[in-house]
Structure formats: structure tokens, C-alpha cells
Chains A and B, each alone.
Chain A
Amino acid sequence: MPEPLLRVENLCTYIYLDEGVVRAVDGASFTVQRGQTMALVGESGSGKSIVAQSIMRILPDRARIEAGRILFSANGDAPVDLAALPANGKTMRAIRGGAISIVFQEPMTSLSPVHTIGDQIGEMARLHREASRSAARALAVETLKAVGFPDPDRKVNAYPFELSGGLRQRAMIAMAIVCRPALLIADEPTSALDVTIQAQILDLLLKLQREYGMGLLIITHDPGVVAYAADAVTVMYLGKVMETGPVATLFENPQHPYLQALLRSTPHFGRADGERLQTIAGTVPDPLVRIRGCPFLSRCPEGEPELCGDAMPALRALAPGHEVACYKRDSVPESAPVGARA
């Protein structure tokens, strides 16, 4: 089997606060194949953004990678373990923004307000490609064209405040793709945008992914974004991966009680009048309190304290590529159209 683009294995990233330790990512594993769109889904506090920051090695000072490997192979060669590299060393600096880049949620706060977007896009090329000033500028114009900027020759001199939210996000994407990364991480790329613009930005990301053959890791809380853009999905809850698999399987035949509940509580169209949304009982537990067993136990309709309370269940394959971490799913339910069992 060819080496996948990104393999995250048992990643543990903890945040050290005055109040205690938050195990923000606690043993997460998933794989992004070349040219694939993987969605990392979870509610706030699930650790999905910390996973992205761990891959990019841009964690806040209080956070540290405690264990696990982040194996990245840009061209199919022997992978590099990003978790073992010094965060500001030469190799990591070359990878960050070069082979892996990231698009953030809020384009207004993640772009510099005092530089033109042309300078900001060009800076990437100058840093990573050692492009000359004029070559960097030409590349900036070309990239703006690629992300669908109207009038790129003139807009290259615009400052972020002169642009609408959608255009700012396009500029942000241009910055991320100018060095043709092998992996693009998009952390809630559409959450701050209006509905009509959201779909356009997702379409743009998917188009660029096809053209450049990039791997795309979309981090989102929105099941609608997942259904629209992803090939595969990894569902996180309180720092742990609960289920991972192809998008159609996870939406049509979700196995983990958390994912089942999450999908049923999402507002969607075409429900009968008077039909209620199903809710997940309770709230997410305090992240400062360490949970030994399954973190969803306190809210799980099927959970049994004796079975689920002692240790986190391991991810088990139900079918190739479809894995779930739940003691109650040790055997495949009869209704599930699953071909093979591991």
C-alpha cells in the first residue's frame, strides 16, 4: 500500500492551565489519503482545532504534544514525524506554509491589516520558493486569479479592510495555496461567512483540491459542510475519535451513539409539522476532570457504567475504512449493510 499523505497515530496534546490539565487531544488516530477530503467534526471543546494546531506545530505556549506520531509524507517517500520535529526548526519551518498550510476561520484577524494582500501572498513565495520581488508579485496575481478574485491585477494592491468577508477568505486561501501544498488544512473555513458565500468558498476549496491534487483536512462543527464537501469523516468528542469512515456510510449508517444523536439533533428540512428535534441529554463534561472510560458515557443512551466506565474503547474496524470506538458495537448490527468484519 502506498504511504498515505498524513497518518495521525495516538496523538495526545495536553493544555496546562492554572486550574489543571486539559487533555484536549487524547489518543486521536486518523488517516488522510492523497487527494482526499477528510472532515474532522466535533462540537466546541472536542479538540479538533488542537489537532490542526498540532499538525502545523503552532500550538499555544501552554499546550504540548505529549505522545503520538504525526506521519506526513508529501510525495509518497518515507514519512516525517512532525510531532518529533522542533516546532521552530528548519524542517518544520519549511513544511509549515510550504507542504502543509492552513486557512483559518476569521479572515479579518488572520490577515495583516497593514500589508496589501499581494504582499502577504507574495511573502509566502519569497519565503518558501525564494522568489524575487517581481516574481512573487506575478505569482500573487496568478494565485488571486486561481481563487476567483475579480480584477486581480488591481486587487493585489488592496488591504484586507477594503475587501468583503468572502473576498478576504479567498485572499486567505490564495496565501495558503501559493506554494502548492500537499495538504491544506481548513479550520472552520466558512463559519464566519454568510450562507450564500459559504457554498462558494467550499466549492473553491474543492476545485483547487482537484486541480492541485491536494489532501484537504476540513475542521468543522457543521454536519452540512461535511455532507457537502467531505469524502471521509472523523468524529471527535472530548479529545477522542469516536468514529471514522466514508461520508456516505457515516451519514446513512452511523454506528456510534454520539454520532447517531448528533445527526438526529441537527435541524434539517422536510420534517413533519410538530416533529421535535431529538436532543442529546446533559452537557459536555468538564474538560478538567479526567475520564477513564468512554467520555460519552454520561450522556449515552446505551452506555453501561460497568462496561464503558473503566477504559476508553479502541477503534475497531467494522468494514474497511469504517472504524468505531464503542463497546456496544463489538458485533455488527444486522441492519448494517457492512460487507466484511475485521
Chain B
Amino acid sequence: MTAAPATSLGGERDSLLVVRQLTKHFPLFQPWLLGLARRQVGAIAAVEDVSFTVTRGETLGLVGESGCGKTTTARLILRALKPTRGEILFNSGGTVVRVDQLEGKALRALRRHAQLIFQDPYSSLNPRMPVGEIIAEPLRLHGYGTPAEIRERVKTLMAMVGLDVRYLSRYPHAFSGGQRQRIGIARALALSPELIVCDEPVSALDVSAQAQVLNLLKDLKAELGLTSLFISHNLAVIDYVADRVAVMYAGRIVEMASKRELFERPKHPYTEALLAAVLQPDPKLRADRQVLGNDGQGWLPSSNQGCPYAPRCRYAVDRCAVERPELRPVGPDHLASCHRVDEIRLAPLLRRQRAAPGGRT
């Protein structure tokens, strides 16, 4: 990898990934000259001024509803998309790389160190490739070693993710959703990347397969010291895997804190609404649950001045419509962007003091 001019990573903890003011605008076109040409009539701000740091060995959870920009953020970090603005710094073995400026060969080299696990285990595996080939492909592309070494590595990887090595020459259709997701994980881990981006890795799976894959990811994190960015809309899943959580809304991070702090002391009204909306598998919580007036209109990423959440916010005041709140410290390692942080008291996640559901264990 080419080393960028000495850009510091801020010095603090051992940061693997630093993202600063990351922005992505998708141009919006309209037909022009009787449809013979098109012209740009505007842009959709999918990601706007997103900044965060991922420390080595930690899992940062990224939550938000569809369209909030979480997947775009992931794709920008892996440079499947080119950012409109902003910096992405990746600390690979002591060398800091400006990922946002990489091109060609250097960009391909980055892929060895940062990999993606996809949501849909059906469309992300080539149906015409046997499993052994799927897992070996990244190894071959990056010149891992001799064919014999690659074969050995594939077997190690399959054992690592709990796949039977005898299934090496089977095709993806012969596997269940959970097993396919293991294949995707083995492929992502093939080159021992330093960063794994997981984009809703269990959303397409049944509850029982979900638990197996979540446990696997947790074990791998402990064994290999993996650093990951974990995208999910399911807060219970985030609670299980993440150390810190960033909440996105309309392309921006509106709150970021350790997961315990976020669940127990939310500081942004949108976080409160998300926590209140969680349907927990416990009928006893039903009576205590309070539905928050969140009109379900969706947001319009249009107004460029006020707080993007203001149209849906039950605490909004006049100021919120005209002045955008900054993301600022509101507690220990806790950032939130809300004008009324000090005035409003938000409800934490509902909890009941008792053991796990599921009866006798």
C-alpha cells in the first residue's frame, strides 16, 4: 500500500479506522431535450458529514432505518463508492492510508485488509462455483501462495466457521441460509483482514440460524481480535455484538455512545423512538410500553438548515426547524446532536428484572 503523507490518526487510542466529515451526494437527473439527454437537477445527500473512529478490536454498531445511509457509509469505507467529500483513514500495520484517495492497484491492495459480509447469502454467492472455489477466490486474486497452500487455507477457514470440509466441492444451492452465510464469512476472512464490515449479516436468516451466525461472529472476534463495523436495524442484535453504537438518521450520525450508555441514557429523541419501538420477546413488557408519536411520514432529506428529525420529533421547538444541531459531547464518550439535550428527559429501553425468557434452562 502506498503510504499517505504523514496524516495522524489523532493519537488517542489505537485507531484502525478514522472517518472525518464523510459525505456522499448522488446526482439526480431528469430527461432533457425530448429525452435525448439528461441534466442534473439536484443531488440526494445519502451521507452527510459523518465522522467516527473504530478502535482496533472493537465492534461499532451502526443503526438506523432504511434509507438513512448506513449501507452507503459501509460502501464508502470499502471504496465501492467514491466519497463526494471527507476523509477515510485506515491504519494498516502502522501505515496510515487515505482510503478516500486510493485508486487502482493501491485500492485493490486495501481490499486485503478490509472485507465485507453481505446481507443476502443467496445473491452474494456465485451459484456456479463450488464452495471451495468461492472461498479460494480472494486468496488467488491476492496471490496468497501455491495451490496446495490455498487448499490448506480453505480447509482451515471452513473448519473455523463450522462448515464440514467434505462439502468443499458442493455448490451453494445445497446449503441452508445459515450455512451460506458461513461461506460468506469464510470468504471475507480468507485474507485475515483487519476490518470486517458486516451489512445486516443476519437479517435474512431464521431465528435459529441467526443465533448460530451471531455466536460465530462473536467467537471469531474473540479468537482473531477482529475489528468490525456492524450494520443492523435490529437493536437486540446490536446489543449482542457491538461495543459502541452510532445512530444514523437522514444521512447523519445523530448519537453515538457505548451501547450500555445509549440504551440506558439516550440523548437524542430519535434514539428514544427507536428504543421504544423495539418489540421485545416478553409479553410482560406490553403493558409498560408507550408508543411514541412518530408520525411515520418518513423524512424528506430536503431542508438543509434545520434538524433533519424535527418534522417527526415530539420535542421539536421553533429553533429546531431553522438551526441544525451539532454533534457534540453530552457525557462520557457520548455524542448527540440535539438542541434540547439539557431540557428533555428521554426514556431508556424498557427492561424487566428477571432471567432470560425461555423458561427452565
Contact = CB atoms under 8 A, between A and B. Distances in A.
Interface string A195-231: 1111110110000000000000000011111111000
A56 B170 CA distance: 40
Interface stretch (B17-25, B30-38, B295-303): B295-303
B179 A198 contact: no
Contacts of B233: 194-195
A221 B279 CA distance: 13
B265 to A, nearest CB: 15
A37 to B, nearest CB: 12
Contacts of B279: 198-199, 202, 222, 224-225, 227-228
A137 B215 CA distance: 53
Interface string A322-342: 000000000001010000000
A224 B294 CA distance: 20
B285 A267 contact: no
B346 to A, nearest CB: 15
Interface stretch (A75-83, A120-128, A257-265): A257-265
Interface residues of A, number: 51
Contact of B359 (A198, A254, A271): A254
Interface string A243-269: 000011001111000001111111111
A254 B282 CA distance: 13
A147 to B, nearest CB: 11
A265 B210 CA distance: 8
A88 interface: no
B286 interface: yes
A226 B283 CA distance: 8
A152 interface: no
B274 interface: yes
A253 B179 CA distance: 31
A238 interface: no
Contacts of A263: 281, 357-359
B231 to A, nearest CB: 14
A277 interface: yes
B360 A223 contact: no
B237 interface: yes
Interface string A26-37: 000000000000
A203 B207 contact: no
A260 B359 contact: yes
A293 interface: no
A55 to B, nearest CB: 23
Contact of A43 (B65, B206, B298, B358): B206
Given A198-B279, A263-B281, A276-B215, A254 B206 contact: no
B66 interface: yes
A132 interface: no
A340 to B, nearest CB: 20
A60 interface: no
A286 B276 CA distance: 39
Contacts of B211: 265-267, 277-280
A38 B273 CA distance: 27
Contacts of B146: none
Contacts, number: 152
Contacts of B294: 196, 200
B283 A247 contact: yes
A276 B163 CA distance: 20
A329 to B, nearest CB: 12
B263 A269 contact: yes
Contact of B281 (A268, A271, A276, A277): A268
B278 interface: yes
B236 A269 contact: yes
Contacts of A279: 208, 211-212, 215
A269 B279 CA distance: 11
B178 A195 contact: no
Contact of B239 (A150, A267, A278): A267
Given A227-B285, A276-B218, A267 B237 contact: yes
Contacts of A67: none
A276 B218 CA distance: 9
Contacts of A131: none
Nearest to B178: A283
B210 A269 contact: no
Interface string B253-293: 00000000001000000000110111111111110010100
Contact of A195 (B208, B278, B297, B360): B278
Contacts of B289: 228
B280 A227 contact: yes
B178 A227 contact: no
A297 interface: no
Contact of B207 (A164, A248, A266): A266
A227 B286 contact: yes
Q: Indicate the member of B235, B274, B298, B359 with the most A CB atoms within 10 Å.
A: B359
A112 interface: no
Given A268-B236, A271-B356, A277-B215, A198 B208 contact: no
Given A196-B294, A265-B211, A280-B211, 20 more contacts: A43-B207, A164-B297, A195-B233, A197-B296, A200-B294, A221-B206, A224-B236, A224-B278, A224-B279, A228-B279, A228-B283, A263-B359, A266-B211, A267-B214, A268-B356, A271-B356, A279-B212, A279-B215, A283-B176, A283-B209
12 contacts: A195-B235, A199-B277, A202-B279, A227-B280, A252-B357, A263-B357, A263-B359, A265-B211, A266-B207, A267-B210, A276-B218, A283-B176
Interface of B: 65-66, 176, 178-179, 206-212, 214-215, 218, 233-237, 239-240, 263, 273-274, 276-286, 289, 291, 294-298, 349, 351-352, 356-361
Closest 9 interchain pairs by CB?
Answer: A224-B279, A265-B211, A194-B65, A223-B281, A264-B358, A263-B358, A43-B206, A267-B236, A277-B211
